Amino acid sequence: MIIDTHTHLYLSDFASDIDEVIKRAGDEGVGKFYLPAIDSAETENLLALETNYPGKCFAMMGLHPCSVKENYKDELNMVHSWLQKRKFAAIGEIGLDFYWDKTFIDQQYQSLHQQIEWALQFDLPVVLHTREAVQESIDVIKEYAGKNLRGIFHCFSGTLQNALDIISTGFYLGIGGVITYKNSGLAEVIKQIDLKNIVLETDAPYLTPVPFRGKRNESSYIKYVVQKIAEVKNISAKEVEKVTTRNAMNIFSA
């Protein structure tokens, strides 16, 4: 079985054909889908998809750095009240994103620290989103060394040194469609990283792998990521599936 550790299947992009999307993924061996939260506007859809696919779809809870705006304190309060109400697979996606907007950098840091504190308190893994902020995010994680903080750097696309730094903190690298993009350089990095540090993701509907780059991404396309990792590491697709699934189950207790 393959686990898609990061897929936004609850978004409106999938509203008209979600059953077929899940079916197609199942036909490719994808048996579990972990759903990262974005902000409160999507909570209802997120939880509804989980309810419709018990044992297959698992919700995370958290405030995405791109949704950290003027109302971030209200958003964080809602995250906290959900965490007290029920169990989630992880706190995510949370992190730092300096690509789109730098207006709320301080608030992004504050939100990240707050949500990491909750992860420790509720004994949950974190799923980190970092864009143009990999090193800054690694620095934050290092502040929590020895506290049993665990999780995934989702959509990892940094340098080999970034990858080694992340691995040294005990975090996993979430690898998706970007590895199929020639200009990303990610395949060369992953070639030198042990499979035991990697989990698979799509980040659907975004970051569609080649040969469908530019179209809507979906979880069945994770097979192109599996193929690419197998190719660069010169191992079988089965081996990639086996080890990455074991890693994912190690992170998510659900």
Q: Is 42 in the site for Zn ion (CB under 5 A)?
A: no
If the CB atoms of residues 101 and 194 are measured against Zn ion, the closer one turns out to be 101
Q: Minimum Å distance from CB 10 to Zn ion?
A: 11
Q: Which of residues 96-125 bind Zn ion (CB under 5 A)?
A: none
Instruction: Give the DSSP H/E element, type plus range, for residue 49.
Output: helix 43-52
If the CB atoms of residues 64 and 150 are measured against Zn ion, the closer one turns out to be 64
Q: Minimum Å distance from CB 203 to Zn ion?
A: 5
* Single-letter amino acid code for the residue at 8: H
Q: Is 218 in the site for Zn ion (CB under 5 A)?
A: no
Strand partners, 57: 33
**Residue from 191, 135, 132, 141 nearest 171 by CA:** 141
Q: Minimum Å distance from CB 204 to Zn ion?
A: 9
**Residue from 197, 193, 194 nearest 174 by CA:** 197
How far, in Å, CA of 192 to CA of 246, rounded?
20
Instruction: Find the binder of Zn ion among 129, 150, 223, 228 (CB under 5 A).
Output: 129
Q: Minimum Å distance from CB 238 to Zn ion?
A: 27
Q: Minimum Å distance from CB 248 to Zn ion?
A: 16
Q: Is 203 in the site for Zn ion (CB under 5 A)?
A: yes
How far, in Å, CA of 95 to CA of 116, rounded?
10
If the CB atoms of residues 33 and 233 are measured against Zn ion, the closer one turns out to be 33
Radius of gyration of the chain (CA): 17
Q: How many CB atoms are closer than 10 A to CB 247?
A: 21
Give the binding site for Zn ion (CB under 5 A): 36, 93, 129, 203
